[in-house]
């Protein structure tokens, strides 16, 4: 709703499907969930997460997933069950069950 968008940068789109209510350890601050996204049971979603559609569809997230702060899950990807996604990861490919995903160490590309 407009109040949430203005006050917390949050938008849980109408049509998003949650099998059970997710856990938001840091509240709803900055969480965006696209319509047609599907989120499984017992998922934990930290702040500043975007679960968004793009060409090719909308994300489907399995059960018992932990989505760290700042994660972006984009497009028609399938996230398996029992997956842990580390902070600031950008997910554009499918992730199998029981995987742990982290962002690689930052590196200098221009000196």
Residue 54 φ/ψ, nearest 5 degrees? -155, -175
Beta strand pairing call for 84-85 and 66-67:
parallel
- Decide if 47 is catalytic: yes
Positive or negative: CA dihedral 105, 25, 21, 14: negative
Catalytic residue from among 11, 26, 47, 78? 47
Known catalytic residues are 47
């Amino acid at each position: 709703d407009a109040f949430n968008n203005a006050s917390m940068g949050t938008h849980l789109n109408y049509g998003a499907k949650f099998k059970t209510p997710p856990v938001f350890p840091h509240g709803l601050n900055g969480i965006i969930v696209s319509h047609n996204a599907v989120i499984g049971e017992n998922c934990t979603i930290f702040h500043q997460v975007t679960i968004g559609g793009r060409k090719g569809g909308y994300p489907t997230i399995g059960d018992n997933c932990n989505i760290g702060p700042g994660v972006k899950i984009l497009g028609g990807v399938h996230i398996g069950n029992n997956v842990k996604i580390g902070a600031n990861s950008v997910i554009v490919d499918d992730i199998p069950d029981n995987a742990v995903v982290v962002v690689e160490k930052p590196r200098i590309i221009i000196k």
